[in-house]
Structure 1
Amino acid sequence: MKKIYDLIVIGSGPGGYVSAIRASQLGLRTAIIEKYQELGGTCLNVGCIPSKSLLDSSKYFSLAKNNYSSHGIFFEKLFFDFKKMMDRKNEVVKNINNGLKYLMNKNKIDLYQGIGSFKNKNTLFLIDRKSLKEKKEIQFQYCIISTGSKPLCLSHLNFNIKNRIISSTEAFHLKEIPKKLIIIGGGIIGLELGSIFNRLGSKVIIIETMDKIISNMDDSLSQEMKKILEKSSIQIETSLSVSNIFRESHEKISVLVKDHNGKEIKFVGDYCLLSIGRKPYTKNLGLENINIKKNKKGFILVNDKLQTSIKNIYAIGDVIGGKMLAHKAEEEGLYVVEHIVGQKPNELNYDLIPSVIYTYPEVASIGRSENEIKEEKIKYNIGIFPMKILGRARISGCTEGFLKMISNKKTDEILGVHIIGDHASDMIMEASVAMEFKSSSEDIYRICHPHPTLSESFKEAALLNLENRSLHM
């Protein structure tokens, strides 16, 4: 007798595996279909986890080289072992992979290796990834598509280490530190990977077509981050359009760009890393077999309940567009599962999904930028508190950056918080909780913050919002 699942999840990235775990907890007979041998999707295997592992390793080396002497710590011969760093990264990924397998077993979730392709709205073909031959059919009541995204490449190029044109995926498999690395794209991926290789000795050039880096965040973050990166010797070039990328020689690659006047400039490096965005991954899903609709860019169209054009089939995460973040996919997965079982989860508030860049110092943002608030013609107050004034920042030696809080001038409700500073990724959660409960800047000011901590910047920025003055500035 064939198994009929209450829920099938296609894809085991953060959105997929979290959906499956929650579904099993709520009593649904659940299975996951995963194309690759390992669970975890892009985030775990070639994204968030490996990048943060290398960011940590390279940060420690950079601090030892440039900062530890001020603490009275000296090294006779400081060096790094790139292979050891990569081995550690692989071990971190392996351990988390094993943890996911344990969670699947613990929650009695069936795992199928292969490609899930729709036969009809209640049946999937399980297809072998290599031969593309059908292995079996799986029936379900509900399905969640969580197949993620892949790096975008220019139409006439392919990612290949030997050809010296790479994406973030190939960057995590390099055997050497490039002497000169050209990165096209000044977003999160470009800045994080640029930071890793810069710390390890690469000359890094970041080329951005827009007039600023991290253009999807508040302008103040972009301006401050540019100063910090350039201070660390990363070269940033903005407002340039790429006209050609070609092999200069066996070991060199050239990037031709044009400025706003049409003048052509050539950059030559060992590798060119493209971080120009990502595209939804829907290959071999058989969406056309059941008429699941996509937009012009290939993202699956969903309604406010995350249902596709076939109501018992949902889609979440990168494959539907929006912020391509692991935690956004997780929240969407939880929302869908709880909706399926008849609970009434809160509507997803995409304004309150934090964005983080794990450079040093880190960048974190939530809510609306100052430009967005201006466009909405909302009168606002603003408080910007420099990290260098905090005792904790001086103790740690990371004094760069600031916390910027924006609130509604009339109601004092917090509209946006934007941070550059040490541990910004952790600090942003105070803003996230506050804004979820529609707190005012006065609420933040009235809360006792421990001293000495970086979180005191919240209290100071809140007082600046309220009275245009702070306690320590």
Structure 2
Amino acid sequence: MSVKRYDLIVIGSGPAGIAALEAAREAGAGRVAVIEAADRLGGECPNTGCVPTKALLRTAEVMELARRAGEFGLEIPEIRLDFAGAMRRKDRIVDSLTSGGRLEGYLESLRAELVRGRATFVSRDGIEVSGQTYEADRIVIAAGSETVTPPVEGLAEAGYLTHAEILSVERVPESLLIIGGGPIGIEFAHLFAVFGSRVELVEIAPRLVPREDEELAAVVEYSFRKRGIGLHLASRAAAVRRDGGQAVVQVMPVAGGEARELSGEMLLVAAGKRPALRGLRVEKADIELDGRGAPVLNEYLQTTNPAVYVAGDAAGQMMYTHVAHDQGYVAGINAIQGNEERSDLSVIPRVIFCRPEIASVGLTEKEAGERGHDVIVGRGAYSGVGKGLVTGQQDGLVKLVADRRDGKLLGGHILGEAASELIHEIALAMKAGLPYTAIAGLTHAYPTFAEAVGVAAYGMVE
């Protein structure tokens, strides 16, 4: 076969890949191609990640609210989960985004050639797919991420579910074991606990969501235990076996001590994700990886091969869809016009969609102190604002972190209803370099949860 040559090849059709293609077209790219190995275009988020997960979490949210109907003067005789119906709704939402040739048609509108198959590098500028070689002046890797499988004895033999596979189960398990207490693990723990499963979660760190603010994490732990979710923190899964239809996990305290066994009908592994680069044979393109298996990148998302850029989860930095889109734009522009745009991850909101929601941006109180800031903290409780009272959502907290010397906001952390929406006021203030007094001086509408942001800021005024 003859070699096919392009100005740009993008590996992956998820948010980073599509954004890179759009940016490259705007920058004047000529002949471009997109390589995709999956059956559906769009990447993980709309197909097997955030979109279907949040669709099911919405069902859980409505179900929980219905159970509280009596508080609002309503009588609902029976609240019963139609799991098959919830799954059909989830599938319809996914299909509305990625089925029926929607994304294929969009690629055509961008005049991009779609190449189906698994890509592997064969040289610094060459990629092979199903025996055909493709070369390009510039390449953007947007191949996404893959589930990390922890080194647990017997795990492969016993079998387990990934976050993608559990979205296709046909029934709610009577019991569910989860390895991993990060965002993915606690979202599914919350989801299946609401649906009626007995849930046990094992996390090697001493607390849930170890990246998040300790104060908020403690509230989440309390909420989970109150729901009946078993938490086994500072513990590791040492071995897994099958006993009849049950997965049996041997759990060992990290500090040492007696092991115990947990059993469950289903086992979910949610121990994190890593860049999906192993099958690409990036070493053939002289692309160096760090000790975590992530590509070594400069501020322009350029690899050690100047012709290759990486964006999104494949970059191994902040694995969020909104970050993938932004990085895709940066990589696409730089690939065509030279290194003009820098990747800036200093102010990136992040959200965990359990109940209550957790939303954060910037540094935690502990991180700010470790970096030498003269830390000042403000708090605003949902119980102190009218919206919390009238909605019955009083379990919430806004926490702001700033430097006392110049008033600069360093971080914001919210636990509670609408946290995913409220965090953007704090993010905007940080992006604009505003001090906390700017938020304290802003009139927030009554009654809103946003008042708690103002209360937190006002509490910092000395």
> TM-score range, shorter-chain basis?
over 0.9
Which of 441, 446, 454 aligns to 2:449? It is: 454
**Structure 2 unaligned runs (5+)?**
none
- Checking the alignment, whether the CA contact within 8 Å between 1:31 and 1:110 is kept in structure 2 is yes
- For residue 27 of structure 1, what is the amino acid of its counterpart? G
After superposition, what is the alpha-carbon deviation per residue over 1:84-128, rounded to whole angstroms, capped at 9, x for unaligned? 11111111111111443343233232221112222333332222x
SS in 2 for 1:352: coil
Q: C-alpha displacement at 1:77, in angstroms?
A: 2.5
**2:248 maps to which residue?**
254
Which of 300, 303, 320 aligns to 2:298? It is: 303
Provide the rounded CA distance (Å) in 2 between the counterparts of 1:101 and 1:457.
45
Provide the rounded CA distance (Å) in 1 between the counterparts of 2:447 and 2:137.
54
- Checking the alignment, whether the CA contact within 8 Å between 2:140 and 2:335 is kept in structure 1 is no
Say yes or no: does 1:107 pair with 2:110. yes
- For residue 446 of structure 1, what is the amino acid of its counterpart? G
- Shifted more, 402-411 versus 369-378: the winner is 369-378
SS in 2 for 1:350: coil
Q: C-alpha displacement at 1:157, in angstroms?
A: 5.0
Say yes or no: does 1:8 pair with 2:32. no
- Checking the alignment, whether the CA contact within 8 Å between 2:361 and 2:412 is kept in structure 1 is yes
After superposition, what is the alpha-carbon deviation per residue over 1:161-192, rounded to whole angstroms, capped at 9, x for unaligned? xx552121221111111111111111100110
- For residue 428 of structure 1, what is the amino acid of its counterpart? I
**1:470 maps to which residue?**
none
SS in 1 for 2:241: strand
**2:138 maps to which residue?**
142
- Checking the alignment, whether the CA contact within 8 Å between 1:406 and 1:465 is kept in structure 2 is no
Which of 390, 397, 408 aligns to 1:413? It is: 408
**2:272 maps to which residue?**
277
Which of 352, 360, 363 aligns to 1:365? It is: 360
Q: C-alpha displacement at 1:342, in angstroms?
A: 3.5
- Checking the alignment, whether the CA contact within 8 Å between 2:380 and 2:454 is kept in structure 1 is no
Provide the rounded CA distance (Å) in 2 between the counterparts of 1:147 and 1:159.
24
- Shifted more, 325-334 versus 359-368: the winner is 325-334
- Shifted more, 97-106 versus 6-15: the winner is 97-106
Aligned CA RMSD, in angstroms, stands at 1.9
SS in 2 for 1:432: helix
After superposition, what is the alpha-carbon deviation per residue over 1:282-323, rounded to whole angstroms, capped at 9, x for unaligned? 243232322221123322221222111110111122223122
**1:43 maps to which residue?**
45
SS in 2 for 1:63: helix
- For residue 124 of structure 1, what is the amino acid of its counterpart? I
- For residue 401 of structure 2, what is the amino acid of its counterpart? I
- Checking the alignment, whether the CA contact within 8 Å between 1:164 and 1:270 is kept in structure 2 is no
Provide the rounded CA distance (Å) in 1 between the counterparts of 2:3 and 2:238.
55
**1:224 maps to which residue?**
219
Distance 1:159 1:325, change over 3 A: farther
- For residue 109 of structure 1, what is the amino acid of its counterpart? A
- Checking the alignment, whether the CA contact within 8 Å between 2:300 and 2:343 is kept in structure 1 is no
**2:149 maps to which residue?**
153
**1:437 maps to which residue?**
432
**1:130 maps to which residue?**
none
**1:26 maps to which residue?**
27
Distance 1:419 1:413, change over 3 A: same
- Checking the alignment, whether the CA contact within 8 Å between 2:139 and 2:335 is kept in structure 1 is no
SS in 1 for 2:128: strand
Q: C-alpha displacement at 1:346, in angstroms?
A: 5.7
- Checking the alignment, whether the CA contact within 8 Å between 1:25 and 1:107 is kept in structure 2 is no
SS in 2 for 1:50: helix
SS in 2 for 1:339: helix
**1:122 maps to which residue?**
125
After superposition, what is the alpha-carbon deviation per residue over 1:4-46, rounded to whole angstroms, capped at 9, x for unaligned? 4322110112211221122223332332110012112122211
What is the correspondence of 1:64-83 to structure 2 with a 5 Å cutoff?
64-65=66-67, 67-83=68-84
Provide the rounded CA distance (Å) in 1 between the counterparts of 2:456 and 2:231.
30
Distance 1:112 1:45, change over 3 A: same
After superposition, what is the alpha-carbon deviation per residue over 1:419-466, rounded to whole angstroms, capped at 9, x for unaligned? 001111111111111111111011112222222211111211111111
* Identical pairs, percent: 27
Provide the rounded CA distance (Å) in 2 between the counterparts of 1:116 and 1:253.
36
Provide the rounded CA distance (Å) in 2 between the counterparts of 1:432 and 1:422.
18
Q: Answer 1 or 2: higher relative contact order, Cα 8 Å, separation at least 6.
A: 2
**Structure 1 unaligned runs (5+)?**
128-133, 468-473
Which of 56, 70, 95 aligns to 1:54? It is: 56
What is the correspondence of 1:304-323 to structure 2 with a 5 Å cutoff?
304-323=299-318
After superposition, what is the alpha-carbon deviation per residue over 1:45-89, rounded to whole angstroms, capped at 9, x for unaligned? 111111111111121112112x22222222222212111111111
Which of 186, 202, 215 aligns to 2:210? It is: 215
- For residue 64 of structure 2, what is the amino acid of its counterpart? S
Say yes or no: does 1:169 pair with 2:164. yes
